[in-house]
């Protein structure tokens, strides 16, 4: 995913060999290599920051979705309990009406 943004791998850095001059390693070659390492290091930092920002956004979204689920569950429970109450009240009314009809006819 991020391979195209990073120039060097860990193995590239470990296996890098510089040509030796009379006074040691060639400074220009070492400087160029260090420039590439610095660029990669900076890019790693940018990637880490972007991923951290994305992680925080996903955590916030996850919390929001969990809260929404809780709210929906409580709404469902409320609707279910209301339906039961309405059904019970409706049954009581019907029983009452039947009692009036039956008892009214007998009297």
Domain count, the chain: 1
Domain holding 7, by residue range, is 3-106
Residue 83 has a pLDDT of 64
Predicted confidence at residue 62, as pLDDT, reads 96
Instruction: Please check whether residue 5 is in contact with residue 47, taking contact to mean a CB–CB distance below 8 angstroms.
Output: yes
DSSP H or E run through 100: helix 27-106
pTM, full prediction = 0.55
Degrees to nearest 5, angle at CA 99 with 93 and 101? 105
The residues of the chain scoring below 70 in pLDDT are: 1-3, 82-87, 105-107
Please write the tens of the pLDDT for every residue from 38-67.
888 888 888 999 999 999 999 999 999 999
32: Cβ–Cβ under 8 A, 6 or more apart, which residues? Answer: none
Give the model's pLDDT for residue 66: 94
What pLDDT score does 21 carry? 77
Q: What are phi and psi of 98, to 5 degrees?
A: -65, -40
């Amino acid at each position: 995913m991020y391979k195209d943004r990073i120039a060097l791998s860990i193995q590239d850095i470990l296996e890098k060999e510089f040509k030796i001059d009379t006074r040691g390693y060639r400074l220009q070659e070492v400087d160029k290599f260090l420039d590439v390492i610095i660029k990669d290091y900076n890019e790693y930092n940018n990637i880490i920051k972007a991923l951290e920002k994305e992680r925080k956004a996903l955590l916030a979204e996850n919390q929001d979705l969990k809260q929404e689920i809780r709210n929906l569950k409580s709404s469902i429970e409320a609707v279910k309990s209301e339906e039961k109450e309405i059904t019970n009240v409706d049954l009581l009314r019907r029983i009452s009406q039947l009692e009036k009809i039956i008892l009214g006819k007998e009297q």
